[in-house]
Structure 1
């Protein structure tokens, strides 16, 4: 027997359809409807009919969509899977090294089971946390995942619910924690039926995707319940170790208890229930430390957030790109400030925004923030999906890697970055609605026309070749240049994991010196001394007496007593000997 239950205050009647049999749901309090069906159980397909219109739609809380987002939902018994991770606890978050991974392009097959075969590689690389781009069911067979519409159902083309559990269980068996990117700021435009059930959206606020998700107007208590239940499901039933919350700046919520705070409270309660620790990470464009401040300090209580200011300062310095939001950055001073204070824009005027932006971080530890040179957005939102290694020299790409992995933040890598992957990561979709697909393709071409791109030179998101082109080419690893970059990343990761002061998150102990004119920067963190040079000529820098070179991006780097000779586009890491 299965009890069908939906929140549908917008309808006057509801029924569930199973193999041609239609059973009416009975109204319950608060806009809920329910009915027990004795012949329904694990594996049964079903749909709902609202207001007797004869048009069958999926369950908003469908746990399984085997025939895609427009097809019937399927009952899933989570207890049917046998887990082997009963003793699992994730690595300490301050010591985390995150690896962002897109299931569809990580392997040639583009499935969870194929990704599971690469877990040995991820473990040997030395990362601690795998972060999956969204896996909630979205239209078509491939996409980035941010057009999800059935938020409780893992994408079938990736392998569906059982494959996702197999992947997480195998990661835990190999010592890897798993994080999931979830999207609560909008639904995708195709296969989105929730508006027929109730007030999931509000016209009081507008976002880039249309009407905002309803987090504060009438009925918002159940909409918030929907998203909190979704988050708890991924943590409890799929054993994820944490969630990355997409674009929280698009949460339009003036409630006394912000949605992020509610989610934090309920996640902490689940920790007490399961005995496991979870991490909540925000993608936030607000430069507002309240997002990651403790609740008892009037914060929202999330554990960490992405730090775009560090990324922007780093990339503009290495590539001279000044387009769009990069126009606010470009100096080594910006990079130095991000290393010491996290936010470059901390109450400072932003020309790109034409307003004052942000506020100071104050006394938060740096492990509340993620630092990265690349991620899916910063690569994929470029017209051609170019990686940093495509935009700059190998020497500068090594500088970026070294800075990310020695900076005070929790470092995050984007799949293939570690070997300077030859393949791009482009924006791709597979909208089955041809008119929607046409609009997406034309919109992408129009967006980049403003930057001087010819429409024919912008990859078409709807062209399957764009998706295929974005898959990692693992054969890269047979080539010396890619092998050398991978070896560099492995050395840096091993250094970070082996030196306690690199993971302590103390911003007060970060010492930074730089020269804008001579284009060098040094950073000291405890006994580790870091230096890079992006000038055209060799520079000689002062270093603490007795410091010994432990990592160098290239030959020709020389340390003599208290000085360092650093060639162009190179980076050196030294260990300062403790005085006896």
Structure 2
């Protein structure tokens, strides 16, 4: 039996909790009648019992050492918030997705969304009617920002403290299952963003149970999670069971692991490797589930198999691609963007994912990264925008606030024509003009002040003025971040149509389905600010310059498949020929992408 409260049917429930620091442990049932039932100690500091007359919906807490009462660390629901009692949940669900097999990772077209701002209602249920819009766009995967129970009703989700629970303001556990079931009916996979590097500061009641944390290492959030000190076996199991819980109980198809570089673990068999093996074992004999890491280490061990000393994760977010693309589009050079800015940087990323593979990083003031030998395109998730890169800007401004319309189309093509797994952030497909800002709804005044100060410190590296920083505690920043779902403007409609066309090409045109990086040839033209990318059966050029450029056609005979300057996309008009052969000059308009396919 796994940890937490597990309803067995017939008003019978099993309780199991890890509490090695407790001399006595009992479950205090608050309804339908007030009862206190002692738990029995078992091996390795676990306590458990099975109780009758516990219907679904029963609220409870654990009583530690006869007096201290705390919620269940593995609560499946916290209906009254992170400071309230836990709730017994009947996890039975009539799943109808037995034929679902997930997609090969290389076929993923990911759409990242925040449940609270994706719709005005901000719930799991409200997402379901919008799935048809995403399906029409060509999206086959949604990625939910964290939904584990967090304090208040407004949060990005990275302040979660009950990792098995579902945020009550988003809906019930059943509502989340209904969303996953609806996605699978529409042919859409679901990625869950999970946070295993820290717990949020408000509502974290783990301390009296056991050594979940260690002072051996310090993180931006305080003491690190205990992954390699005494009692770390059981701490690891807490998180491994959590991963399997989402994949099995909620039929989630992949997990995005937040900031694994903040997981401190110097053991011979790292937690992240053990997690990779556990998920691989679950996938055997059924269908594949994936682990997608967020890591700024540029360390290929994340992607290598455990047999080669790696963690065995299938993919990772590739920040280098985003930064190289962003600097070419915007010209920004502050903060971590100082490490990028040349066409050659983006060319390097197109070839191998990482730009930094061991050379000196001016921003970090040290050498950074290693070489991703043996990796393919499916090992890297790329984007032009995501929640971090938008929400951690001064005003939560999207590229629509920074770029002109032709540049927005260029950004879309650069991402969706790449030999990697592309990801969109909600609203970018139609040029959403509303911001996506950082927001919280804490109740502790000292914590609120700390968050405000943290934002000021974070923005210093970018030179953004302190007096213009939005208040993350204010409800206004949350309301302003809700999608408009409006593409009635001709430019917005054309942008969405371009995204739709690029995605359809991506999903159905064979040359774009090949994600082998060894077959990618990239030529940077630094003076012209243009990048030429050739893959078997296609080539395309990206002109980041405000001036037109002319380039020679690569070897072969070619037919134009797309030009973002075309009037079809509200552009100024295509200068590129419909057909071209080796040596023929191809004119490319400013801030434009052109795509050609080979004629047999």
TM-score range, shorter chain: over 0.9
CA distance change for structure 1 residues 347 and 451 in 2, over 3 Å: closer, same or farther?
closer
Shift of residue 276, structure 1, vs aligned partner: 2.4
1:564 aligns with one of 565, 586, 590: 586
Q: Distance in 2 between matches of 1:294 and 1:388?
A: 37
Is 1:538 aligned to residue 552 of structure 2?
A: no
Q: Distance in 2 between matches of 1:361 and 1:503?
A: 21
Partner in structure 2 of residue 191 of structure 1: 203
Shift of residue 451, structure 1, vs aligned partner: 4.2
Is 1:310 aligned to residue 332 of structure 2?
A: no
Q: Distance in 2 between matches of 1:536 and 1:148?
A: 44
Deviations along 1:80-121, whole A, 9 cap, x unmatched?
x21111111112111111111110111111100001110101
Partner in structure 2 of residue 30 of structure 1: 44
Q: Does the CA contact (< 8 Å) of 1:13 and 1:50 recur in 2?
A: yes
2:439 aligns with one of 419, 425, 428: 428
Partner in structure 2 of residue 518 of structure 1: 528
TM-score using structure 1 length: 0.97
1:232 aligns with one of 237, 244, 257: 244
SS at match of 1:150: coil
Partner in structure 2 of residue 217 of structure 1: 229
Partner in structure 2 of residue 74 of structure 1: 87
Q: Distance in 1 between matches of 2:496 and 2:373?
A: 36
Q: What is the correspondence of 1:166-177 to structure 2 with a 5 Å cutoff?
A: 166-177=178-189
Partner in structure 2 of residue 129 of structure 1: 141
2:496 aligns with one of 477, 483, 486: 486
Residues 514-523 or 155-164, more deviating: 514-523
Is 1:21 aligned to residue 35 of structure 2?
A: yes
Displacement over 6 Å in runs of 4+ = none
Shift of residue 33, structure 1, vs aligned partner: 1.6
Shift of residue 556, structure 1, vs aligned partner: 2.8
Is 1:161 aligned to residue 161 of structure 2?
A: no
Q: Does the CA contact (< 8 Å) of 2:335 and 2:461 recur in 1?
A: no
SS at match of 2:61: strand
Shift of residue 500, structure 1, vs aligned partner: 2.1
Shift of residue 446, structure 1, vs aligned partner: 4.5
CA distance change for structure 1 residues 334 and 446 in 2, over 3 Å: closer, same or farther?
closer
Q: Does the CA contact (< 8 Å) of 2:149 and 2:161 recur in 1?
A: yes
Deviations along 1:386-436, whole A, 9 cap, x unmatched?
112221121112111101111111111111111111111100001122331
Residues 555-564 or 345-354, more deviating: 555-564
Deviations along 1:166-189, whole A, 9 cap, x unmatched?
000000000000010000000000
Q: Does the CA contact (< 8 Å) of 2:352 and 2:375 recur in 1?
A: no
SS at match of 1:195: coil
1:9 aligns with one of 16, 20, 36: 20
Shift of residue 450, structure 1, vs aligned partner: 5.8
Q: Does the CA contact (< 8 Å) of 1:63 and 1:73 recur in 2?
A: yes
Q: Does the CA contact (< 8 Å) of 2:227 and 2:233 recur in 1?
A: yes
Q: Distance in 1 between matches of 2:487 and 2:115?
A: 19
Partner in structure 2 of residue 576 of structure 1: 598
CA distance change for structure 1 residues 508 and 449 in 2, over 3 Å: closer, same or farther?
closer
2:396 aligns with one of 385, 404, 414: 385
Q: Distance in 2 between matches of 1:262 and 1:417?
A: 36
Q: Does the CA contact (< 8 Å) of 1:90 and 1:241 recur in 2?
A: yes
Q: Does the CA contact (< 8 Å) of 1:446 and 1:455 recur in 2?
A: no
Residues 566-575 or 25-34, more deviating: 25-34
- Superposition RMSD in Å: 1.4
SS at match of 1:163: helix
Partner in structure 2 of residue 201 of structure 1: 213
Q: Distance in 2 between matches of 1:434 and 1:95?
A: 46
Q: Does the CA contact (< 8 Å) of 2:335 and 2:462 recur in 1?
A: no
Unaligned runs of 5+ in 1: none
1:148 aligns with one of 157, 160, 175: 160
Unaligned runs of 5+ in 2: 1-11, 566-572
Is 1:58 aligned to residue 71 of structure 2?
A: yes
SS at match of 2:337: helix
Deviations along 1:341-370, whole A, 9 cap, x unmatched?
211100111111111111111121111111
Shift of residue 449, structure 1, vs aligned partner: 5.1
Aligned residues: 574
Q: Does the CA contact (< 8 Å) of 2:81 and 2:151 recur in 1?
A: yes
Q: Distance in 2 between matches of 1:450 and 1:346?
A: 24
Q: Does the CA contact (< 8 Å) of 1:3 and 1:36 recur in 2?
A: yes
Partner in structure 2 of residue 353 of structure 1: 364
